[in-house]
Each structure stands twice: as C-alpha cells, then as structure tokens.
Amino acid sequence: MLNISNISKSYGTKTLFSAVSFNVGGRDRIAIIGPNGSGKTTLFEMIAGNVSPDTGSVTMRKGTTVGYLEQGIGPSSKRRLLEDITNASTQITGLAHRIQVLHAELAEGTDQANSAETLRELGELQHRFEAAGGYSAEYEAKIVLSGLGFAESDFYRPLTNFSGGWLMRAALARLLVLNPDLLLLDEPTNHLDLQSCIWFEDYLRTYQGAVLVTSHDRAFLNRVVRKVLAIEPDEMLFHHGNYDSFVLARQKELEIRKAAAKRQELKIKREMRFIERFRAKNTKATQVQSRLKHLAKMESVVVPRATKKIHFSFPEPARSGQEVIALRHIRKSYDTNVVYRDLNLVLNRGDRVALVGPNGAGKTTLLKILAGVLPFEKGERKLGHNVTMTYYAQYKLELLDPENSAVAELQQAAPDEPEQKLRGILGGFLFSGDDVYKRISRLSGGEKSRLAIAKMLTQPANFLLMDEPTNHLDIASREILTDALEAYHGTLCFVTHDRTLIRQTANKIVEITDGELHVFPGDYDNYLYWKERSAEGSSEIHQPPKANATRESLARSRQRQRKLVEGELRNKYYRESAPTKKRIAEVKAELSGLGEQLSAVESLLSSPEHYRGSTQTVETIKEHHRLKEAINSLTEERERLSAEAERMKQEFEEAKSDIET
C-alpha cells in the first residue's frame, strides 16, 4: 500500500536519516520510535505529502486515503461536536447535500418531465450514501466519541467550548470516523486518560486499515503494534514484534556486537604487535604491508550506545512518621462545580501511590490539596511528624533560571554537593559531556523536564508529589525517571498517563470517580484485576458482605478476599525476588562476555606463533588465569543466587497453598 524507497532528509548539517526503505501493508501496525528530535514527525510529514525527501521517493497505491493526526491543533470550527465528527467524510457530506437537493426538486414538482430521471439518480445516490456508511455515520461517531471519553451532553456543544486536550480528542475521533486506509498517529495518547486509552487500543487492534504510530507510551505500543521501526543515530532498524520484543532483540544484538568488537580489538592488537615487531625487517616487509592493507580494509564493528539502567545515589531523606499526611472531610469546589464533598485519605510512610481516573475527575486537584498549594472550603489537611515535601508540576519548568547552566541550577538546589557528583546525577538524566554547561534557555522541553526532576530529587525531601512527570519525555527519559523513582526512599504520590511507570513504581492505586476515592492495595495489575471483576458484575470489593448475606455471597466474598491476599502475597514475592532475579540475569550476561574473552585468549595460547615473544606469552597466561578466576567466582555467585531465588519461590508457593486451604 505504501512504499518508502531510499529516502534521505537533512536540515542544515544534521542528517535525520539516509537511504531508508520500507513497505507498509494494508493491515500493518507499525511503531515509529526514536528519541525526541530523531525525525519521527518529519517521516510522517513526508508520508502525508507535507514535506519532500531530499532523495528517494514516497509512493502509494492509487486511491489510498491517508488520515494524519498531528501533535498541534488548528483553529476550532464553530460547528457542534457531533455534527463536526459526522461530517468528517467529504464524500458522505457531498452525497447528503445532493440527496437533499433532489428531495427538494421532487417535493416542489417543478420538473415533471424529468421526474423519472430524478428518481433514478436519487436511488443511485442513496445506494452510494449507504455504501459509504452515511446512514451509520452518526451512530459510529457516537460510539467513537463515547470511547474517547466524551459525555452525551458534549455531543451538541460547539467545538469552541472545548479545551485544547479535548479538541485533540475530537480531531482523533474525526479521523477514526473518516476510516482512512492509512492512519498516521503522532503521539495520539498524550491527551487520553487510562480508560480512553484502553478503549483506543482495542479499537486500533481491530481497525481495518494500516496504522503508523509514534508514542512514548510503552504499554500502548505493546498492545497495538506488530512491527517496530526504530530511528537511531546511525541507522534505522526494522523489527517484527511489539516494543518489548524489540528491546529484547536489541539487547541481544548489542551483546553480539560487543563480543564481535572485543574479538576484533584482540585481532587488531595481534596484527599491530606483528607489524611493530617486524616493520624494520626487509624479510618481513611483504607480510607487514599485507597486514596493514588488511587492517585498512577491515570494517569496524560499531557498538551503538544503549540506555542502561542507572543506579542513582540521591541524598537520603530524614525518616518521617508512620502517617505522612491525612486529609479529613475535605470539601473542594470551583464555583458551582463541587469536586469533593467529603474527601478522606491517609498516606503512610513507604506508600508509592498512583492517582488514576478519567480526565476531569479531580486527580490534579487532589494532588494540589496534598501539596498544600490549593485551598479548600472545609476539612483538615494534616502533615505527619518530620515530613518534608517536594511538589513537581509542569509550571516548575518556568521557574528554572534561563541564564543558568544545568549544573549551576543543581548547585543552587544542593550547594553542599560537589560538582562532580552533580554532573554524575545529570549524566544519569542523559546530560552528557558539555551538555551540563548548556544554558537552560537552549534546552528542549524534554531536557527541561529531566533537569527539573533531577533538581527536585537532589533535595532531601521524604514526601514527593508529581503531576504528569512524563510529559515531554521520550521512552529513554521515562526509563531514567523510573530508575530515579526506584532509587528514591521516601513516600511518593503521582499522577501520570504512563501505565508502564505506574506498573513499575506504584504499590497502591487510588481511583477517583465522581468525587469518590477507592483505594486498591497492591500494584497496577492487581488494580486491573479487581476492575475486571467489578465490570463482570461482582459486588463491592472494598466492603464486607452484610449480616443477612446468603451463603453463596459469603462464599464469593471469602473467595475475593483470598484473591486479594494472594495478590498482595504475589506482589511481595515479585518485589523481594526482583533484585535477585535481576542480578542472576546480570551474572549470566557477565559470564557470557567473559566466556567470549576466554575463548579468544585460549585461541591465542593454542597458536605456536604466539610463544615467540616471552613477554607477550606471560601476559596472555596471566589474562587466562584472571578470566578463569572471574568465571569461577561468578559461577559460584550464580549458584548461590539461584538457590536463594528457588527458596523464595518455594516459600511463596507454600504461603499461597496455605491461603487456598
């Protein structure tokens, strides 16, 4: 359906991509990934025909329709929402207009002679209108709008009444109703809440056309795409599978490249030793020249930079009391809109709470009340003993001094920390080399977000509140944020649309619906399990059965309770065993690398030519001995860790069995 052939694109001295070719089939689901500024949007602009490639071609099958969701939005129409979405198809709109004209002609009866011809044309138009989906357009539009979070009362509101985020949803709905052969979606989930995002994923999985999408939402990519096109600094990679599959394949490829680069390095060293040794001997001149030519022709094995897990070391916050903060009987309203009538919530030390719920439910309002930056009409907000608090919101980016460098901004927040440590922290947040001295006024939105988060974490607060910290962050930056929050030892409460961050960070979920809070102990998967049970018609999961409950309802209640306890037990097992399993994987990777090095050294020792130089031979034997010792030590560690992992698994299985009995 779409053919990209040998395209290249540069802006000034920066080359985005060169000699790129790929095809898109009629039902493909392809993720275009890469860091911010890598050229993802430019690629979409070329496919949409808005930008021309420097070289190569973009061709489509004749008659292919393209729908493009851009990150920005144009001026709003004055039409009402449902009318605007229903009339998205110019074909349907044109047919409907012509049908109305013919109806008027027949009603007036001004041209009796041609009435038969008019009826014939009307019948043909109505057939085409039905085939184009005209009669079902409004029904389809309502389904799409509801799925994307619009209430029925919104359908008849003019578009000028909606905020930017809701206008982006309307633009997405318009595209889905238009139903083009190829959807180009540039960050489509940025303005969707979790519930709408799940609906959208299900919609795309059954969509009849092809989908190309850019997104920093890893959970979204895993559920939707079946292919990944990764734009990297020196190459473009094509992978069959979802995002996680791509990451695993990329890690394996990097390991293979590292081993190949190591073998090549050893080979070059051997050749150079020979060249240096015999360069001055006439009898060896031919061999020396031959080896020099061989080295010149040798294609270097390049190991591209990969974002590795960062181990952060932040100032240790003071220990707070058990109860970190309590909200009691809070009432909060905006004019006539009452958000909370009787809000009650307690957060304890060690809680890592994700606030979830539809857009407009009051997540940010609750976070601001917790942070003490938003007044309320009634109730009490009480901080616990020895609690120190830091609040991150997007407006914090505006408080960064534009004249400061990144490292100077951190020095203001942590004046007692040495510059070397602050540079190390900035390095963890992807500020490399001289980037730490770049002025804040020259930083991108994503770089400012990373700097603001780094600045906040260098301040030793034991209660951290974060409002949409992943905004402007690409996938690599979101992974770094997750690493940083894992290293943070205080209490955490945050709002985000990034389900992967919630899944990897939260140990408690607070759902907000219609001004009511529902607290779910356990991780995000545990929360989803209970949501599914609730959707299937289960009774209230937070309340015990009433005194007059039947035997059957009591049995169901006990079963739900067992499931809850089992879920908490499983979460505890995963949490406690994760470091051990992670270290086992690291040890296996290290053993694999050492095994490659040992094979290379043993290959040297098996060569008679290698023993002509005594110094060289002694060094090789020492290296062989060192590698053997390292392998033995790591092998012992792996066996010990495996035994520990097996012990934890057995204890978990026994505890689970006790619950079931």
Q: Would you state the structure tokens that stand for residue 352, as one six-digit string?
A: 């890592």
Check residue 128 and give its pLDDT: 61
Q: Are 185 and 443 in contact (CB under 8 A)?
A: no
Check residue 649 and give its pLDDT: 82
Could you tell me which residues are beta bridge partners of residue 482? none
Backbone angles phi, psi at 4, to 5 degrees: -105, 120
Q: Give the whole-angstrom CA distance, residue 413 versus residue 392.
A: 14
Question: What stretch of H or E contains 332?
Answer: strand 323-334
Q: Give the whole-angstrom CA distance, residue 389 versus residue 461.
A: 5
Check residue 372 and give its pLDDT: 93
14-24 and 55-60 as β-strands: parallel, antiparallel, unpaired?
unpaired
From the list 501, 493, 489, the residue with the least C-alpha distance to 467 is: 493
55-60 and 508-513 as β-strands: parallel, antiparallel, unpaired?
unpaired
Check residue 511 and give its pLDDT: 93
Check residue 517 and give its pLDDT: 93
Q: Give the whole-angstrom CA distance, residue 241 versus residue 540.
A: 39
Judged by DSSP in three states, 65 sits in: coil
Q: Give the whole-angstrom CA distance, residue 258 versus residue 253.
A: 9
Low pLDDT (below 50) residues in the chain: 302-307, 538-554, 557
| Cα 465 from chain centroid (whole Å) | 20
Q: Are 511 and 517 in contact (CB under 8 A)?
A: yes
Q: Are 349 and 326 in contact (CB under 8 A)?
A: no
Q: Give how far Cα 311 sits from Cα of 314, 451, 501, 562, 587, Å.
A: 10, 17, 17, 37, 17
* Beta strands in 432-515, from DSSP E residues, in sequence order: 463-467, 491-495, 508-513
Q: Is the pTM of this model over 0.85?
A: no
Check residue 544 and give its pLDDT: 32
Q: Give the whole-angstrom CA distance, residue 84 versus residue 156.
A: 10
